[in-house]
Chains A and B, each alone.
Chain A
Amino acid sequence: MSLLDIFKRRTSAPVARERLQVLLAYERRNRSQPDLVSILREEIMAVIAKHVQIDQDYLQVSMDRGETMSTLEIDIQIPNKSAVPLAMAG
């Protein structure tokens, strides 16, 4: 490490450029397709609603995208019928 390096800070602009290029390449590819997560959310909600009454807030759908594989996480909370009045009373 030379003395000059002390004064040289690593520049952040190239990192910003690279991150943006990767991100926007992905976003542009997906732009033409409708939002997958919200479609899934709506359809799952409709299926569940046929059998159980749940609130919108009890369904969480999230997509985590990775380099080679993405994971879809669906979290549905079905409130216990008997628990509802208790909770309300409490």
Chain B
Amino acid sequence: MGKVVVVTSGKGGVGKTTSTAALGAAVAKTGKKVALVDFDVGLRNLDLIMGAERRVVFDLVNVIQGSAKLSQALIRDKRVETLFLLPASQTRDKDALTEEGVADVIGKLRSVFDYVFCDSPAGIERGAQLAMRFADEAVIVTNPEVSSVRDSDRIIGLLDSRTLRAEEGEQIAKHVLVTRYDAGRAARGEMLSIDDVLEILSVPLLGIIPESQDVLRASNLGSPVTLSEPLNAAAKAYLDAARRLEGEQLPVIVPFERKGFLDRLLGRRAA
């Protein structure tokens, strides 16, 4: 029985899709069978980030409505053979998803794959609630910034009340993934620190992804950063986060900025 992991945030633009792709690819590289499911019906993007946008024939809504089989809609990744994508539909409206339909698809995926990553749409409406509904674990993607942290807190509230696990009185395992972390700005006291975020949300940390041009480049090229540039800092952070997600006890190292000559001269210290 595979594990269902929802990647969610509440706020848009914090890196849910990028993180779904990077984490999913990182886990698949270890030989695990991984399915990535795009729940952002009407605004699909996971196909683009994965570089599979021209291979989409059928989608999640087709499968739910019975016009395509699950095996027809799943797209196998060209780089990692245990990695699959189930795209969202681009044209239909979000009401095309039904709870029974999603339950059925997730149930089938869970029986075949080791990991099912559900890429949630932004917001707290139906689409986001369906994406988290059948999850065993949640990765809450957060930027160290007030509105993102507030929305994450809201999402945590939903995870603890609206998921099937929560309704059955079970715990859903939650992890915070801090993305777009700028060590320099945090050191200068211009950005919420990791401690601030963790203290406010009181959810364990899965990893810290530094702000990086490489992530954008990977998206441009249609390849998860963990596949295209596994040696850069952001990719390493994702690879470590994926290992923690699989249960490995790996300490998180907060990225730091080497002090430049000017900083020393002016005596700037970490706040």
Decide if the interface of chain A is mainly helix, strand, loop or mixed: helix
In this complex, the member of A7, A19, A20, A21 whose beta carbon has the largest number of chain B beta carbons within 10 angstroms is A20
Contact of B271 among A7, A13, A24, A27 (CB under 8 A): A13
Place the interface of chain A in its size category: 10 to 19
Contact B271–A17 (Cβ < 8 Å) = no
For A17, the chain B residues whose CB sits under 8 A away are: 192, 196, 199-200
Q: Is A28 an interface residue (CB 8 A)?
A: yes
Q: Is B167 an interface residue (CB 8 A)?
A: no
Tally of contacts, chain A with chain B, CB under 8 A: 47
Contact B153–A13 (Cβ < 8 Å) = no
Q: B181 CB to closest chain A CB, in angstroms? A: 13
User: Can you list, as one digit per residue, whether each of A19-45 has a CB less than 8 Å from chain B (1) or not (0)?
Assistant: 111011001100100000000000000
- State the B residues within 8 Å of A (CB): 145-146, 149-150, 153-154, 157, 186, 188-193, 196, 199-200, 266-268, 271
If A11-B271, A27-B153 are given as contacts, then 17 extra A-B residue pairs at C-beta distance below 8 Å, sorted by A number, are A7-B266, A7-B267, A8-B268, A11-B190, A13-B193, A13-B196, A14-B189, A16-B145, A17-B199, A17-B200, A19-B146, A20-B146, A21-B200, A24-B150, A24-B153, A27-B154, A31-B157
